[in-house]
Structure 1
Amino acid sequence: MIMDISNIIITIKGAVQGVGFRPFVYRAAMSLNLRGWVRNDCAGVEILACGERKNLDAFIATVKTGHPPLANIRSIEINEEPVCKIPESFTILESSSGEIAEVDITRDVAVCEACLAEMRDPASRRYGHPFINCTDCGPRYTIIKDLPYDRPATTMAEFPLCPECNREYSLPGNRRFHAQPICCPSCGPVLRLIDSKGKEISGDPIKECAALLERGGIVAIKGIGGFHLACRADDENAVALLRQRKNREQKPFAVMMRDLETAKGFASIDPTEISLLTSIERPVVICAGKNSKGLATNIAPGMSTLGIMLPYTPVHYLVFDSGKFDALVMTSGNATDEPIVYNDEETPARLGGIADAFLTHDRKIYIRNDDSITRVTNGNAVMMRRSRGYVPDPLPSPYNIQGGVALGGVLKSTVAVGRKLMCYMSQYIGAVNTVEDIGELKKVVDHLLHILGVTPEFYVGDMHPDAVFRHIVEPGGIPLVKVQHHHAHAVACMAENELDGKAICIVYDGTGYGVDGCVWGGELLVSGHSDFTRQGHLKYMPMPGAESAIYNPGRMALAALYTVMGDNAAEACPWMPDNEKYAVMEMLDANVNCPATSSMGRLFDAASAMLGICKKRTYEGQPAMELEYAADFFECSEYEPCVKTDKGEVVIDGAEILAQAYSDFINGTSPEKTAARFHNTISRATVMAVQIAAGATGLSGVCLSGGCFQNALLLTRTIAMLKESGLTPYIHRRLPPNDECISYGQLIVAGAQRSNSLPHS
């Protein structure tokens, strides 16, 4: 009988290295009696398979649909070609190198249940092992130096495998087959507890750490992408001490709970939030608080929510297993406004004055990666910070953006690198204000370029004269494309939702440099990928004292009311010192040091201060956040929306809306109801402005972007009203609506402007 024997070469691109893909292919091939090989290369995974046609068809179907959970196939190419010498069996070959890397980098994920069970089994040789992992879990992105993803290209290279680990690594049926970070107590990193003076503390590091936490101490714990600062979440004094040492007056702390059942005791957690909390990404999830008893009152001042995460590293689980506590504050290991600390060399200088001890180890973190943060709105997850667990999964581009490097914004910085039709965004970097911040941004850019095998062909930066590109791009060198801040926001939302053509885009945020030189932030744009028209905006308001008005929201309240009430505005904000109020009114009267802004963020700040909710900003977004949490969710009344057209533009008079809220408030309406009515009116005014733009353009798709749309009440109300009006809202799903999305939008805009062809479908 003559069998139909064929030979095929399969090339797979995507996140297919470091996720158990080759062992999976090996097992599938062996089960179907195929011969050939599988190997990693710089394009992803390459497979030679030889066998009967029906078995090859079954093999292809299995590869496409039955791959490991961490794998993400972006493309698969199958070619039939003759092979000079057919292998006698199926094997896993050593990785090959190539000139152009096209593999997707694998993200860091939480320790899996199988490894946890093994770690807690006294009969296991990895009992209590703080670095247990397998092909389904553990660190990836933060330890990778180069591709292909093999142990020598990671920070685990300095830990040679012991004979037993090497045996597991070499057995195709073992779940640690070709797991690159594999180790055990005999051959892996070593955990140590060091005091604030650099002296190692004797005894079991985990038990001593737990004991120190129980006594009210603060411990810096080395995680996957950097250090956390931890203390007991039920200890008022410990939390207060952490705030004092970290210089973090009021910004909420995240809390790591022992397990999901513990978390349910402190917060109302819906099914979507449960799915996020228990996912392999393990983000911080902003949940509605329900029971503050048992938690320190100063964890989240002024908030009705609680940022919760569950343990995601073996060390986290071991600390909880050894300690007599159910919840720990787990905040980024840094002083306020600094990047997270991730290497041991800098911990004494940067965290020595904060932590009482350091639970650390000698597995190096190659690239820092802070915790991701999510919030559920309208039943859907909205990103607040995209970092560990999600980065560096790529996003699609409708244009060839090969060699593009987008440098993002200033406050919530990310960078993005283009490779063909994919955009690879960095982890959250944070504010870029200092020489050290610039150095970190450069390192992230260089790392992405190197690991993706991309050579820069063009840079993209913000239009602002002081944008970060000045420190990266050499004059006269690689071309630079400048993109307006809010256009980048708009296009990021469009591209994420795969919208071609034009869309109406509402971008509400704090600050962005406008094409007229003013501070924009309440924008109605009709946007395409390559250009935009400013169809409308929030009416300009003065910012007395310029940037100081951002930190003193009472100034914005007086300024907005002044445009409507004149000198009578001085009666507002009775809590403000007379000398400051007098100085503000003088600036407004003389129009001195009062730059104009259309910022919706500043209007929300003004409302918060006017109602006495937030009188001083100690962290970004605080006044608006506290205004949202103070608002009565069940209040449905609205003020007059104050929308008009002026010289062809739609203008929302935010100051007039604020004046109505002020009148309501001083006539006895509670701050909670007034705050809700203010939110409702802004949503109504927004939709009315959109309706005017829709009538003029015939467009019905509406993108919502900008940091103000992290406000769940504003977002929920606006989406509902848009739908009631027959319009189709689009929001960010994979990216935060804040400035983290700008680098993605910048790269798409530049790609569109450079493209001479229509977008790909």
Structure 2
Amino acid sequence: MALVTGIRRRQRIEVHGAVQGVGFRPFVYRQATALGLTGWVANSMAGLTVEAEGDATDVATLIDVLQQPPLPNTRIAGISVCDVALRGDAGFSVRASETLGACAAQIQPDIATCPACLAELFDPANRRHRYPFINCTQCGPRYSIVEDLPYDRVRTSMRHFTMCPACQAEYDNPADRRFHAEPNACPVCGPRLSLWNDQGAPLAQDEQALQTAVAAIHAGKIVAVKGIGGFHLMVDARNDDAVRRLRVGKRRPEKPFAVMFPDLGDVRASCRVDAEAEVLLAGAARPIVLLAHEGGPIAPSVAPDSRRLGAMLPYSPLHHLLMAELRFPVVATSGNVSDEPIVTEEASAPERLSGLADLFLVHDRPIVRPLDDSVAQIVCGRPQLLRRARGYAPEALAAKNVGDGILALGGHLKSAVALSTRAGILVSQHLGDLETSRAREGFRQALAEVTHLTRQHPRLVARDLHPDYASSRAADASGVPVVAVQHHVAHIAACLGEHGLEPPALGVAWDGTGYGPDGTVWGGEFIHLTKGRWHRVASLRPFRLSGGDAAAREPRRSALGLLYAAFGEKAFSMTDLPPVATYTAAELAILGTAMARGINAPSTSSVGRLFDAFASLCDLQQRTSYEGQAAQRFEALTGGGIPYDLPIRAGADAAAPFLVDWHPALEAMLADRHKPADPSAVSAALHGGLVRAIVEVARQVGEHRVVLTGGCFQNVRLTEAAVSALQEAGFTPLWHQRIPPNDGGIALGQVAWTGWLEAKGTSSCA
């Protein structure tokens, strides 16, 4: 029964979603005051809590406005309303945050500098003119500075800086853009810049520090710049000698570097930028966007073997100041040595980046957690994240039929963790590969943080089926009941989950490697998911990987395995083929014996390794220096070709009723071994043949919803062709957009699949 006296009413309103750190409390204050309502608003563990009292019609109007507030960066997950007793407040106020209750609040990602702050940054008459830490309720650091919830200054790393009277007056003024802007600061009271030499000794502060760093970059020096979520290593992207010196220091011989451009016009001078890419580049998240590289002033060593360039625009005030002074593109790569986590603390930077950086441009605002730059591309006219970190993490995704308290530890590469909460499934930032002790320590910290911030104690832990991943061992040591989820099932569940969907679906899960229940290396799977069950309906015809894990770094090994599966021992005499020619006769004899006996030569169904094999046979790449290098070069080849035939044949047993047979494609490629194959035609033919196989298996299974997932679907050419062909055939294709198709999405899929199993009360089967 509503508690109403006359025409007056008081209602308690809880707003759930991403509503903290976006100016929502000031917005509610202004709306309620304009309507003549009394009461209060406060951040809470639920999100935002409002009590509004006044004319019943006006209270209803406020609720309607809160449903879809005209605020950028805000996401409303739901609103609950109940009547409470009238209190007759004197006015409307912003209260201190409520810190009790279950946590359903969502943490806001770090947001790029807004136009209003940019105007002030470059306005000589403004008191924040050229202040590198300017922000307001619509922009600035968020997740990178949050220590606890609710989101208030005292629970962020800005608690180390006491606001001066001028900043406090803005913070307290309902009419000001910085009303309750938690990171509010100015040159008088906020963080400051310093410049250090390579030993960590101070050289300059503030504007002088900035100008000296600019001069150093002009002179070809490498400057380590402390940003939002960690350090960048910055160097003139036009200076090939400087870029090559950076490559040596980072131990990164060929993998492309990201480039920060002063503005969109400069990006267009080097890259092809369509309307969708422009929106993505200039949006609040400001990711690195992979674009077709078309020339311009970029040095050859920036992206030596790639036709694409990772481009980004300045996103912090410090970046804007640097780029406004430089007026040319700079390499802006993560401040770390390859395979190590990004450096976040200035105190440790000179040691960890020793021999890499000539100077360090640092500041004294602590970074609470490391955040790499996010990486995205455009697929089918829509953004697709390949690395989800700054600007996107830790946005929660809606969870359908998934209970709270399921913690997922992801895989071993491109690690991330996920946790189901009242707010949805929270997915952490990209944590990197768990290959080093520092990386594993960062992983443990992320686990502790996700449970601390959400106040959610896991009751189930989901992990990959592979028992020897560092994440799997962490799950088994957790003391919480563990659910092992097959790698490719998790990939498919992740794509369904990010779209807010549940099974049934046919999943096409193609990647480099995933642990199969039969002990083989899976990676070219067609898996039919129903509610609570999965079944492998088809896979790529298997072949052996010569050298096991070494094949991921040497495409020639995948090619040798493919040739051996097709031609037996004859493969080792095909020395006119590029991959075979790279081995000595003695090496081939040893490899032949190992292959015949199955010694360090596991069987695989991996489409990723199939791409590697064809790249090797085309003599594009026999050894690689980074993951996916050969396949990326193979994808980038332009040209036409009649699709190869990859027929669907009956499998040997019920574990995979159908096999996609690559043998006819290999035969077609090798039809005239004495005539060099046209790599462009081979690439077009293989891509076309694989797409036809996807459609044919979909027809055999008869499931209308087809999920495209796994690292191979980072391949834009493959994904767009598959989406188009499936749509033409009457199917409904789904592909990744907000969660990476690679192993960065595994944790979300593990949570979703475990939740669906629990809801159904069944267990999975292979």
Classify the TM-score, shorter chain.
Answer: over 0.9
Amino acid at match of 1:184: C
Aligned residue in 1 for 2:582: 576
Q: 1:315 & 1:539 partners in 2: Cα distance?
A: 53
After superposition, the C-alpha distances for 1:281-338 in whole angstroms (9 at most, x for unaligned) are: 00111111112x4110111122111110000001111111222x41000111111111
Q: How does 1:596-607 map to 2 (within 5 A)?
A: 596-607=603-614
The alignment partner of 1:157 has SS state of helix
Task: Give the aligned partner of residue 355 of structure 1.
Answer: 357
SS in structure 2 at match of 1:201: strand
Corresponding position of 2:690: 682
Give yes or no for contact 2:509–2:523 (8 Å, CA) kept in 1. Answer: yes
1:174-185 equivalences in 2 (<5 Å): 174-185=176-187
Q: Does the 8 Å CA contact 2:68/2:76 hold for their aligned counterparts?
A: no
**1:473/1:383 CA distance change after superposition, 3 Å:** closer
Aligned partners of 2:733, 2:756: CA distance in 1, in Å? Answer: 23
Q: Which ranges of structure 2 fall in alignment gaps of 5 or more residues? A: none
Deviation by residue 1:493-514 (Cα, 9 ceiling, x = unmatched): 1222333341111000011100
- Equivalent residues of 2:409, 2:472 under 8 A apart: no
1:306 matched residue in structure 2: 309
Q: Is the 8 A contact 1:401 1:748 kept in 2?
A: no
Shift of the alpha carbon at 1:470?
A: 4.7
CA contact (8 A) 1:642 1:657 kept: no
Q: What is the aligned partner in structure 1 of residue 740 from structure 2?
A: 736
Instruction: Deviation per CA, 1:229-269: give whole Å up to 9, x if none.
Output: 11011000011000011000110111100000110111110
Cα deviation digits, residues 194-240 of structure 1 (max 9, x gap)? 11111112361111111000000111111111111110110000110
Which of these residues, 614, 622, 634, is aligned with residue 627 of structure 1? Answer: 634
Question: 3-state DSSP class of the match of 2:245?
Answer: helix
Which of 200, 214, 217 is matched with 1:213 structurally? 217
Among candidates 75, 79, 87, match of residue 76 of structure 1: 79
* Alpha-carbon separation, structure 1, partners of 2:750 and 2:263: 40
The equivalences for 1:509-588 within 5 A come to 509-569=511-571, 570-571=574-575, 572-573=577-578, 576-579=582-585, 580-588=587-595
Residue matched to 2:341: 339
Matched, 1:40 2:43: yes
Is 1:159 aligned with 2:165? no
Whether 1:753 aligns to 2:766 is no
- Post-superposition offset of 1:149: 0.7
Letter in 2 for 1:16: V
Runs of 4+ aligned residues of structure 1 deviating over 6 Å after TM superposition are: none
Give the TM-score of the pair, scaled to structure 2.
Answer: 0.95
1:594 aligned residue (601, 606, 614): 601
Question: For residue 418 of structure 1, what is the aligned residue in structure 2?
Answer: 420
Inter-partner Cα distance in structure 1 for 2:724 and 2:153: 51
Secondary structure, counterpart of 1:137 in structure 2? coil
Partner of 2:486: 484
CA contact (8 A) 1:605 1:624 kept: yes
Using the TM superposition, give the Cα deviation of residue 678 of structure 1 relative to its aligned residue in structure 2, in angstroms.
1.5
List per-residue Cα deviations over 1:577-618 (Å, max 9, x = no partner).
425444433433444321101111111111111111112111
Note the C-alpha offset of 1:668.
4.3
Distance (Å, rounded) in 1 between the aligned partners of 2:531 and 2:468 = 24
Whether 2:241 is the aligned partner of 1:237: answer yes
* From 40, 49, 53, the counterpart of 1:50: 53
Aligned to 1:672: 680
Q: Determine if the alignment matches structure 1 residue 640 to structure 2 residue 645.
A: yes
How far apart are residue 439 of structure 1 and its match? 1.6
Q: Which amino acid aligns with 2:441?
A: G
Which range moved further: 53-62 or 238-247?
Answer: 53-62
Q: Corresponding residue for 2:372?
A: 370
- Return the match for 1:719 from 705, 717, 723: 723
Partner of 2:496: 494
Which shifted more, 17-26 or 59-68?
59-68
Q: What do residues 703-730 of structure 1 show as CA deviations (whole Å, max 9, x unaligned)?
A: 1100000001111111122122222211
Identity %: 37
Q: Kindly indicate whether the alpha-carbon contact (under 8 Å) linking 1:102 and 1:452 is maintained by their aligned counterparts in 2.
A: yes
Pick the aligned partner of 2:256 from 244, 252, 257: 252
Q: Distance in 2 between matches of 1:23 and 1:659?
A: 68
CA distance in 2, matches of 1:429, 1:77: 35
Letter in 2 for 1:278: A
In 2, Cα distance between equivalents of 1:70 and 1:284: 19
Q: Secondary structure at the match of 2:25?
A: helix
Distance apart, 1:157 and its partner CA:
0.2
- In structure 2, relative to structure 1, the CA distance for the partners of 1:747 and 1:664 (3 Å cut) is farther
2:713, 2:76 → 1: CA distance? Answer: 32
> Could you tell me how far apart the structure 1 residues matched to 2:28 and 2:529 are?
45
What's the offset of the Cα at 1:568? Answer: 4.1
1:274 to 278, 294, 300: 278
Alignment of 1:180-199 (within 5 A): 180-199=182-201
**Residue 655 of structure 1, CA deviation:** 4.2
The CA distance in 1 between the partners of 2:220 and 2:484, in whole Å, is 50
AA in 2 matched with 1:576: T
- The Cα RMSD (Å) is 1.7
SS across alignment from 2:289: strand
